[in-house]
């Protein structure tokens, strides 16, 4: 709902270790680039490189829409967030825009003020000028507000939001409250 990506389509899977990525790179791009291995279409630490496993899914644009890109992005973000808990980790990859959007919906005191109405996908609301006045910046103030918040708000309770969500997202009434495996190539994890 935040990014307008499908979550209930085919999982993004495929080989990740047995492929000769140099051959694939040459077939797709006409050159073998050493640094292409460093990033991901789902943003990695570099934020600007593309791993070929994602590029392979974009070769046939007709089939591209059949994949659960939202689930793959969420799985990638969850993996990155888990990895970011290591004391030696200094950077995080994944779709940090999605994490920021979640925080804006769940913690209203952290969101900037915007005059633009909700549109779909929901991320577009934040593409307009915003006011950051009265948003806490001191860590102690943010911790106090987080401690005072007893329960995080459900992001989509507002009827103004429900009114702009396309009907296709209402077809499965359990789509927001399910425990499902999120598949990201060779990694399958249960999430709620």
Query: Which of 115-126 are b and which e, b meaning 16 or more Cβ less than 10 Å from the residue's Cβ?
Result: eeeeebebbebe
pTM of the model: 0.69
Residue 183 burial (10 A CB sphere; 0-12, 13-18, 19+): middle
DSSP type of residue 103: H
Q: Structural domain boundaries of the chain?
A: 19-94, 108-170
Per-residue pLDDT tens digits for 68-79: 888 888 888 888
Per-residue pLDDT tens digits for 20-64: 767 776 776 676 655 544 343 466 666 665 566 777 777 777 787
Residue 21 burial (10 A CB sphere; 0-12, 13-18, 19+): middle
């Amino acid at each position: 709902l935040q990014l307008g990506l499908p979550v209930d389509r085919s999982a993004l899977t495929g080989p990740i270790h047995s492929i000769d990525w140099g051959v694939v790179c040459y077939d797709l791009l006409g050159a073998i680039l050493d640094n292409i291995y460093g990033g991901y279409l789902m943003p990695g630490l570099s934020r600007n490189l593309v791993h070929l496993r994602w590029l392979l899914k974009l070769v046939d644009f007709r089939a591209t829409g059949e994949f659960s890109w939202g689930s793959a992005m969420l799985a990638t973000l969850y993996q990155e967030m888990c990895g970011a808990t290591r004391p030696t980790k200094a950077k995080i990859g994944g779709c940090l825009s999605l994490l920021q959007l979640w925080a804006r919906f769940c913690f209203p005191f952290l969101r900037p003020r915007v005059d633009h109405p909700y549109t779909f996908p929901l991320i577009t609301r934040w593409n307009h000028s915003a006011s950051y006045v009265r948003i806490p910046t001191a860590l102690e103030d943010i911790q106090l507000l987080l401690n005072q918040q007893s329960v995080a708000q459900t992001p989509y309770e507002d009827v103004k939001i429900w009114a702009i969500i396309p009907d296709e997202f209402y077809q499965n009434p359990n789509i927001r409250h399910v425990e499902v495996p999120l598949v990201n190539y060779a990694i399958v994890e249960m999430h709620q």
